[in-house]
Copies of this chain bind each other. A is one copy, B any other.
Amino acid sequence: MMDLAQGVLAHDTRACARVLRIVDDRLPGYAEVLKTLFPSTGRAFVVGVTGNPGAGKSTLTDRLIQEYRARDAKIGVIAVDPSSPYSGGAILGDRIRMQRHATDPKVFIRSVATRGHLGGLSRSARDMVRVLDAWGADVILVETVGVGQDELEVTRTAHTTLVVMAPGMGDDVQALKAGIMESADVFAVNKADRDGADSTVRDVELMIALGKDTMIKMGKAKGHVVHSETAGLGGAPDANEEIWTPPIFRCVATRGEGVKELVLGLDRHRAWLAGTEAGRARRTERLAEEVREALREALIDAAAHDLRDEMRAAVRDVAEKRVDPYTASEQLVARFRGR
């Protein structure tokens, strides 16, 4: 197992593929591998690509790969696929297009399926990002299928979130506005040669203006959202010039138009993250989120393992109304803590 980790650190693609599988399936020893890789991570730029189905995310991701490859960057791609626990199947669709890069030794494309349990998907994605980072990827693209809660969480594992939109999807945009506003750093209005592109751009501009307004009013400028649990960690100033306003790029991904400009926009956000107090505070906040998430999962795993019998007894007691579920869970926590 440690040979595999060393292989990843030596930038071996085969070792990387095997380790990704081990991490995704959480096979025995996966945590040790991640611990070994961790010190060699933190170099890659991680871009989340999200947006409504049909907006052209996969085609655009394909073009982003091409553009970054033109800079001779090494690329990792994580394609998040929702799949059924019954069928184990995955929606691939347009993603087949991306496969043309699969023979390029400097491009690594891996799918990750939706986990059945809470938080599992973003954890898996985050761990896989680490592996690709240690393998030497300069840029890692994390593409999600939709914009559900799960996917929005996945984008939070990225440094920069690119939200892809397309004309004529107005209603969906409305419905998903809130979640998107929170996570978007850069917007791409794809299919910009179609009717309605101007109106989509205007909608996005309005959304950004409204969102910024609300955030300023609440003293929560993007980038220095102060989370209760990490207040004081960031020390972010209130200087308005530090607020990141998401830029909007018009693209026609099928023809590769506007992609160069889009990548320059992503560069700019990367520089903002590194170069401003607000950007650095956001990175710290994301890290804090990760530690919280890892702790949550470690706690749940340990409890599920150690309290197996007690859980069964508790379910029986609740079913027979000998105890209520709230008291039962308190008792289980006390038991877990050995009290």
A199 to B211, CA, bound (A): 41
At the interface with chain B, which of A4-12, A33-41, A253-261, A262-270?
A: A33-41
Interface status of A91 (Cβ within 8 A of chain B): yes
At the interface with chain B, which of A64-72, A100-108, A240-248, A302-310?
A: A302-310
A233 to B181, CA, bound (A): 45
Partner of A181, one of B84, B150, B302: B84
A77-124 at interface with B (beta carbon < 8 Å) = 82-87, 89, 91, 114, 118-119
A34 to B38, CA, bound (A): 44
Contacts of A332 in B (CB 8 A): 291, 295, 298
Q: Are A295 and B318 in contact (CB under 8 A)?
A: no
Interface status of A288 (Cβ within 8 A of chain B): yes
A300's closest neighbor in chain B, by CB? B296
A295 to B292, CA, bound (A): 17
A292 to B305, CA, bound (A): 12
Contacts of A149 in B (CB 8 A): 114, 148-150
23 example contacts (A-B, Cβ-Cβ < 8 A) are as follows A42-B321, A82-B178, A84-B179, A84-B181, A84-B182, A86-B182, A86-B211, A86-B218, A86-B220, A87-B178, A229-B312, A233-B315, A233-B316, A284-B315, A284-B319, A287-B319, A290-B318, A291-B315, A294-B325, A295-B332, A299-B300, A302-B337, A337-B338
